[in-house]
Structure 1
Amino acid sequence: MGAQQREYNQRRRSVQSTKKITRAMELIAASRVVKARQRVAETTPYANAITRAVSAVATHADVDHPLTTKRDQPRRAAMLVITSDRGLAGAYSASVLKRSEQLRELLEEEGMEVVPFLTGRKAENYYRFRGRSFEESWTGFSDKPNFEVAKEIAERGVREFIAGSEEGGVDELHIVYTRFRSMVTQEVQVTRLLPLEVVEDERPLSEHAYPLYEFEPAAEDVLDVLLPRYITSRIWNALLQSAASELAARQRAMKSATDNAEELIKTYTRLANQARQAEITQEISEIVGGASALADAKK
Structure 2
Amino acid sequence: MGAQLRVYKRRIRSVTATKKITKAMEMISASRIVKAQRAVAASTPYADELTRAVTAVATRSNAKHPLTHENPNAKRAAVLLVTADRGLAGGYSTNAIKQAVTLTARLKAEGKEVVTYVAGRKGVQYYGFRNLAVADSWTGFSDKPTYADAKTVSATLIEAFTAEAGGVDELHLVSTEFVSMLTQNAIDARLLPLKLDELESTGEGAKTPQVFPLYDFEPSAEGVLDALLPRYVESRIYNALLQSAASEHAARRRAMKSATDNAGELIKSLTRLANSARQAEITQEISEIVGGANALADASAGSE
Give the TM bin, normalised by the shorter chain.
over 0.9
Q: Distance in 2 between matches of 1:259 and 1:83?
A: 26
Alignment of 1:159-238 (within 5 A): 159-164=159-164, 167-201=165-199, 203=207, 208-238=210-240
Q: Distance in 2 between matches of 1:66 and 1:282?
A: 84
Q: Distance in 1 between matches of 2:55 and 2:277?
A: 71
Instruction: Please report how far the alpha carbon of residue 160 of structure 1 lies from its aligned counterpart in structure 2 after TM superposition.
Output: 0.9
Q: TM-score, normalised by structure 1?
A: 0.96
Contact 1:67–1:162 under 8 Å retained in 2 = no
Q: Distance in 1 between matches of 2:157 and 2:189?
A: 14
Distance 1:163 1:27, change over 3 A: same
Between the two proteins, the alignment pairs up a number of residues equal to 295
Q: Distance in 2 between matches of 1:280 and 1:126?
A: 53
Instruction: Please report how far the alpha carbon of residue 295 of structure 1 lies from its aligned counterpart in structure 2 after TM superposition.
Output: 1.5
Deviations 1:106-141 (A, max 9, x none): 010011111000000001111110111110000000
* Counterpart in the other structure of 1:135: 135
Q: TM-score, normalised by structure 2?
A: 0.94
Identify which range, 252-261 or 59-68, moves more after superposition: 59-68
* Counterpart in the other structure of 1:258: 260
Deviations 1:43-78 (A, max 9, x none): 001111111111122112222112211112111110
* Counterpart in the other structure of 2:272: 270
Deviations 1:245-289 (A, max 9, x none): 001100111111111111111111111111000000011111111
Q: Distance in 2 between matches of 1:183 and 1:294?
A: 71
Q: 1:282 aligns with which of 277, 281, 284?
A: 284
* Counterpart in the other structure of 1:88: 88
> RMSD across aligned C-alpha pairs, in angstroms?
1.2
Deviations 1:75-98 (A, max 9, x none): 111000000000000000000001
Instruction: Please report how far the alpha carbon of residue 213 of structure 1 lies from its aligned counterpart in structure 2 after TM superposition.
Output: 1.3
Give yes or no for the alignment of 1:25 onto 2:25. Answer: yes
Q: Distance in 1 between matches of 2:226 and 2:262?
A: 55
Q: Which runs of 4+ in 1 moved over 3 A?
A: 202-205
Counterpart secondary structure, 1:192? strand
Instruction: Please report how far the alpha carbon of residue 226 of structure 1 lies from its aligned counterpart in structure 2 after TM superposition.
Output: 1.4
Alignment of 1:102-121 (within 5 A): 102-121=102-121
Counterpart secondary structure, 2:137? strand
Q: 1:247 aligns with which of 240, 246, 249?
A: 249
Counterpart secondary structure, 1:85? coil
Counterpart secondary structure, 2:199? coil
Distance 1:204 1:110, change over 3 A: closer
Identify which range, 83-92 or 23-32, moves more after superposition: 23-32
Counterpart secondary structure, 1:73? coil
Q: Distance in 2 between matches of 1:84 and 1:204?
A: 38
Q: Distance in 1 between matches of 2:287 and 2:208?
A: 91
* Counterpart in the other structure of 1:62: 62
Counterpart secondary structure, 2:176? strand
Deviations 1:180-201 (A, max 9, x none): 1111111111000011111231
Structure 1, unmatched stretches of 5+, are: none
Q: Percent of aligned positions with the same letter in both sequences? A: 60
